[in-house]
Structure 1
Amino acid sequence: MTTRRRERRILAVNAACVLVSAGWCLAAMADPGLLLPAGSTPTDGAGFYAQAYAVRQLPVSAGVLLLLGAGRRRELLPLLAVSGLAQLGDSVVGATHGNTGMAIGGGLCAAVHLASAGWLARRTRTPVAAAVAAAMT
């Protein structure tokens, strides 16, 4: 597989992750119970949590998608790292609160974003990329 083709596949998987995350975010705003473990009853706090989730997830998703579409790999790199860390946090929250889907989905997206950031860091060789690459290894 050529490097260009591999890059397109890697970036497509990242796009899928942010689209799924943004979709879940919007769904959770409509039904905050989706963010809770099975059998939990949503309260006003769940709605607040869904809105707090949206304040972070929607701009990050939009930024990743815009940079992917514009072909701005160097600028994408730190945003992928931030998105990966946020997804890792979501995974930990899901695991500690019995939300298996959040734990697994967040973990998978974290792995995709962080591995992709490391891969792009090695390819772009910019000062920001070097810092991200060092953090990823």
Structure 2
Amino acid sequence: MLISVIISAYNRKEFLKNAIRSVYTQLLDKGLYEVVIVKNFEDKDIDDYIAKLGYKNIIYDTPSYGEQVSVGIEESKGEILAFLEDDDEFKPNKLSKIYKVFSTQKEVSYFHDTREYIYNDKKLWSGHR
């Protein structure tokens, strides 16, 4: 099972490396996830950093968040999709938690903002850990 992390960025460079770094420093084995970055700009420093980490770097010029995400999904190989915007960061255990839930449950959805695990329309867990 592979997790695809899709990072989107539109016209904002100042936080993007921090977002990327927060994915790179995940506690989950790096072989269990890939990273696809979709942005509308080129930046030597950021592009070199992405290349050094071996992540996919896609330049796609659109102001539409939905189009950026769609391009990222098309380029991803994972069965599980995780989304991260350029001005946000994952906590170090984020992908480990997602992997554990999807490894032990079937037909489950994980909602980042609400921190809920739902299985067969029943809430398994809600709250902060």
TM-score (normalizing by structure 1): 0.28
TM-score (normalizing by structure 2): 0.29
Larger CA Rg, structure 1 vs 2: 1
Bigger strand fraction? 2
Bigger helix fraction? 1
Question: Which structure is richer in relative contact order (CA contacts within 8 A, separation 6 or more)?
Answer: 2
